[in-house]
Amino acid sequence: EVQLVESGGGLVQPGRSLKLSCAASGFTFSNYYMAWVRQAPKKGLEWVATISTSGSRTYYPDSVKGRFTISRDNAKSSLYLQMNSLKSEDTATYYCASRGNSGYGYWGQGVMVTVSS
């Protein structure tokens, strides 16, 4: 059974940092591009970051570029999102997902990040 389990969320003050993790199992993690997608409360989905299979290529939208860093450890089947200089508008549920040529096939259950003083 495929599982993606996010962790590391919580309440953080504006300007501070937080690191999310995503533990993958049930599929060959190293064969997949991976991504983070977020959803602000009662809002739509927003793509946050993508990383290649080796980790050598990363992509971000302008809204997080320079503040967020996606990384992976294929030996541990784990995906990470380092979030720095957090803003109130970063408050959202963050999902990790596999990103392949056939779409975002696998999703985690999500982890909540609240940025507030």
C-beta closer to another protein: residue 13 or 102 = 102
**Residue ranges that bind another protein, judged by CB under 8 A:** 33, 35, 37, 44-47, 50, 52, 57, 59, 61, 95, 99, 101-105, 107-110
C-beta closer to another protein: residue 2 or 11 = 2
Q: How far apart are CA 72 and CA 56, in angstroms?
A: 10
Minimum CB–partner distance for residue 58 and another protein (Å): 10
Residue 62 in tokens: 């302008």
C-beta closer to another protein: residue 10 or 61 = 61
Q: Distance of CA 104 to CAs 58, 65, 67, Å?
A: 16, 21, 24
* Bridge partners (DSSP) listed for residue 58: 51
> Which phi and psi angles does 29 have, rounded to 5°?
-50, -45
Q: How far apart are CA 30 and CA 11, in angstroms?
A: 31
Minimum CB–partner distance for residue 5 and another protein (Å): 12
Minimum CB–partner distance for residue 9 and another protein (Å): 14
C-beta closer to another protein: residue 101 or 117 = 101
